[in-house]
Structure 1
Amino acid sequence: MGMLLAKLWSLFGNEEHKIVIVGLDNAGKTTILYQFLMNDVVQTSPTIGSNVEEIVWKNIHFIMWDLGGQESLRVAWNTYYIHTEFIILVVDSTDRERLSISREELHKVVNQDELKNAAILLFANKQDVKGCMSVAEISRQLNLTSIKTHRWQIQPCCALTGEGLYQGLEWISNNIKRK
């Protein structure tokens, strides 16, 4: 009887997957987290430390850690990396001046031993803003094609409307199945 219950329970997706959301301050990380949680825009203030929420999507349980993106907080990101399966890097598609900093942070993530098996989803946020950088431009500026050690995907999105966010989760769920 116990085996039958265990098999039935496994059909309902009791497995948890850890995702860490990083990016520079004001990129939209917290807005994305709460868009996933409530399918709505929540008024946020700059994250000091972290936010953590459990998101259930298509019967998959994600524990999502949203980390503060201010320069003084980025040095502590690596303390959250243990057992992380996916990194979501959120890039502000309107912030041309700091894209080089996002590139540096991305390549720090790629070189972390704790993340050697993690896949990377890049959300090119704020695609709804006129004059924003295209996904191709962001990809080129971040030098994504040089990343050979991790599975990665770049996804255009708008955190305010939710457009593109679930396509990113779909990519993550497909990568869970590939493990």
Structure 2
Amino acid sequence: MGQSYSAAPQVILMGLDSAGKSTLLARLLTGEVMETSPTIGFNVGTLDLDKKTSLTVWDVGGQKCMRPNWRYYLDDCKALVFVVDSSDRARMPEAQKALKKVLSDEKLRGIPLMVLANKKDLAGSMTIREISNQLDLQAHSDRLWEVQACSALRGLGLQQAFFSVNKLIKKS
């Protein structure tokens, strides 16, 4: 994957299976909710933020068997967007371990991180602070990072999150 498809900065969308990555990307690109199935490999699309700014967003499959392949998508990555299901407390330790492993890759040194707390529309979803603590984000003082709540299903917070991702890329 060494060459990029466009001049737009590449953003990698990662997270555990069923976190809502494909739903999120489809909603961003089409404005609609689409039926998705588990991603084998990746989905990619160009997100236009405004007339002059776009991002190429790669949505990479999150099943356990796919995670060893995540490192192959990191070339030319300008920001990592890690999506968590904020209503699934039981899987936060697994998400923390997966995030820590991918961030340890040399290719991501100094690359900004955006954690999207998806499914905020569900009852009992965790707060931003809880997610930040569960993922041990304070340990990543060597990089710019942010956490934002969103709902891919309802389209809430998605545009704002990717404007923030663009700002993080410019700061890094």
TM value normalised by structure 1: 0.89
How do 1:1-179 residues align onto structure 2 when only pairs under 5 Å count? Answer: 15-58=7-50, 59-179=52-172
CA distance in 2, matches of 1:33, 1:75: 22
**Cα distance per residue 1:46-97 (max 9 Å; x no partner):** 1111111111111312111101110000110000001100111000011111
Structure 2: which amino acid aligns with 1:151? L
Range with greater deviation from structure 2 (57-66 or 37-46)? 57-66
Query: Alpha-carbon deviation of 1:18?
Result: 0.3
Query: Alpha-carbon deviation of 1:176?
Result: 3.2
Instruction: List runs of 5+ in structure 2 lacking aligned partners.
Output: 1-5
**Cα distance per residue 1:99-141 (max 9 Å; x no partner):** 0011011111221101113111000000000011111111111
Q: Which structure dedicates a bigger proportion of its chain to helix?
A: 1
CA contact (8 A) 2:26 2:32 kept: yes
The CA RMSD measured in Å over matched residues stands at: 1.3
CA contact (8 A) 1:37 1:55 kept: yes
Instruction: List runs of 5+ in structure 1 lacking aligned partners.
Output: 1-13
Structure 2: which amino acid aligns with 1:46? P
How many positions carry a matched residue from both structures? Answer: 166
CA distance in 2, matches of 1:177, 1:38: 26
TM value normalised by structure 2: 0.92
Which has the larger Rg? 1
CA distance in 1, matches of 2:122, 2:42: 27
